[in-house]
Structure 1
């Protein structure tokens, strides 16, 4: 049985290492050893992601990328045999102006060249799983060690105030040695793609939970009716989002090899909406004071809107609507009590 880390584990690490935990602290403490998605304990995995997110959203951006890289390699096989304590990233954003090309050498050995954008934690990780393209124009995944001459971490590409500590800069590859993971196209074909996408919603939920906890703690002993109304709105937003995440995790564990796209999109969009409601009501309940005087609260309120934009907004809504419309002549089963 998986022994889930608790919020106390994070507090103990914070006492030991100071208020700003780093990815290496979580790895050294063994808190990155999570159940694989779809292996029967998906909710336990998401609870850890949510607790880290409630503590620090930039940190969970790195932590989720690290645990996702481990899950990808476990699912597809291959990758690098990294030393104990290795800190991984997952860099699979594909903006049109930044593309990495993979040239095959022998067996699984390949060479990477090009620019990868939005590389969170590039200056602090030891290895990365990177999306790339072969000469036939097919998408591929590669594992690459960062400590080599063909890898250059820049200070370009990230100017945001929110999520500033994720340091999501551009990385340039110049004939860098790498190892192919799976076969071309495997990244999005594998069941873990949408299972991991739903896990991102757990991170967003954790960010909203951290803000809600702060709002709850700052209400005071005798909050006025207006503050209580805002707290009630926060409760009404978070509670159904949490229920939907629990339902999504249970569905994934019951259907580990099925396409979880609809389940993931529904969870992501519902949690995004709930997170926006939590931020709106927390700000109106507490006023400017915590935003100006409470560093952790102010940082969370700045970080979460940026992290939420990992959602594709109306494109995701349209995709979910398309899936819902495919049940011709009847409403989706998820609408029924």
Structure 2
């Protein structure tokens, strides 16, 4: 409730990464980033907070989700973040941008380029994936205000999610701290649990977009708009149910492999969000696209954020898992 009240007092209009960074720092100072850990017994509360921020502004949500994800990973792997710090979680691994690490005393030295580093210009720290001499993936925590860290203006031309400043960062001997052991990032239960948190962000934005249609239908008896609202309600209900079930399942089985759970949840929420985008647009026409700034920004940002899913490639991975399941997997 405290987070909802805070967001309600802020106009959802962040012109650039500086504005987003200022809001994230204020949220950290207010303690609004202290979410329950996945599997702690309060996972649904975590998802609700992510959804609330997603409905407020997806650019802010991108930074907030990355920050809170980094905090949970560090805690899960035995680390301790600096009080008041703001974090990016940078795990994209395109082939042309890989960071290497070499031992440097009790720390490691980073060399290379990291792509799609959301919030790089305004964050104090980042938790990122890098590669050691044995070609094993290693998580590294790094302070961004040090020599050897160059934040570029390259690699991000999107209109949607444009304010996030998801640029490329170059490391040339910067010092970092290894977090956990090689391979821990993908092997820990929290990896797939966190993937469902991303779906909660998508859901929050889709729910807010749908609210414009609900309000319209409350004032106008238009059969076609009401039919679109019915379709939107069914889609959002399916997404909400799967997120609630996922949270309960994670809390009941916090150490279990959540890949199947996460792939199903992300697929359902992605399809629901895409249906909301389609039906709300068809029902309301051009008006809110052109005259409602918050609505228009969500409509521009959500399709870009949804592309954290890999579409048919992710569905094929889900199908591969399901094909190996017994037929009871679909039993009520």
Q: Same fold (TM over 0.5)?
A: yes
Whether contact under 8 Å (1:102, 1:135) holds in the other structure is yes
Determine the structure 1 residue equivalent to 2:219: 221
Structure 2 runs not aligned, ≥5 long: 15-19
1:281 and 1:150 map into 2 onto residues whose CA distance is: 48
2:248 and 2:202 map into 1 onto residues whose CA distance is: 19
Whether contact under 8 Å (2:29, 2:84) holds in the other structure is yes
Structure 1 runs not aligned, ≥5 long: none
Determine the structure 2 residue equivalent to 1:43: 44
Aligned residues: 325
- Structure 1 segments, 4+ long, off by >6 Å, are none
Whether contact under 8 Å (1:219, 1:286) holds in the other structure is no
Query: Alpha carbons of 1:332 and 1:105: their partners in 2 closer, same or farther (altered >3 Å)?
Result: farther
Determine the structure 1 residue equivalent to 2:63: 62
Determine the structure 2 residue equivalent to 1:28: 29
Alignment of 1:170-185 (within 5 A): 170-185=168-183
Could you tell me how far 1:9 is from its partner in structure 2? 2.8
TM-score w.r.t. the length of structure 2 is 0.95
Could you tell me how far 1:220 is from its partner in structure 2? 5.6
Secondary structure at 1:245 match in 2: helix
Query: Alpha carbons of 1:5 and 1:331: their partners in 2 closer, same or farther (altered >3 Å)?
Result: farther
Whether contact under 8 Å (1:324, 1:331) holds in the other structure is no
Whether contact under 8 Å (1:215, 1:282) holds in the other structure is yes
Determine the structure 1 residue equivalent to 2:101: 102
Determine the structure 2 residue equivalent to 1:89: 88
Whether contact under 8 Å (1:142, 1:180) holds in the other structure is yes
Give the superposed CA RMSD.
Answer: 1.4
Determine the structure 1 residue equivalent to 2:17: none
2:6 to 5, 9, 12: 9
Q: Could you list the per-position Cα deviations for residues 88-114 of structure 1 after superposition, in whole angstroms to 9, with x for gaps in the alignment?
A: 11000000110000011223x001011
Alignment of 1:41-190 (within 5 A): 41-78=42-79, 81-82=81-82, 84-107=83-106, 109-190=107-188
Whether contact under 8 Å (1:131, 1:139) holds in the other structure is yes
1:7 and 1:232 map into 2 onto residues whose CA distance is: 27
1:332 and 1:180 map into 2 onto residues whose CA distance is: 42
Could you tell me how far 1:24 is from its partner in structure 2? 1.5
TM-score w.r.t. the length of structure 1 is 0.93
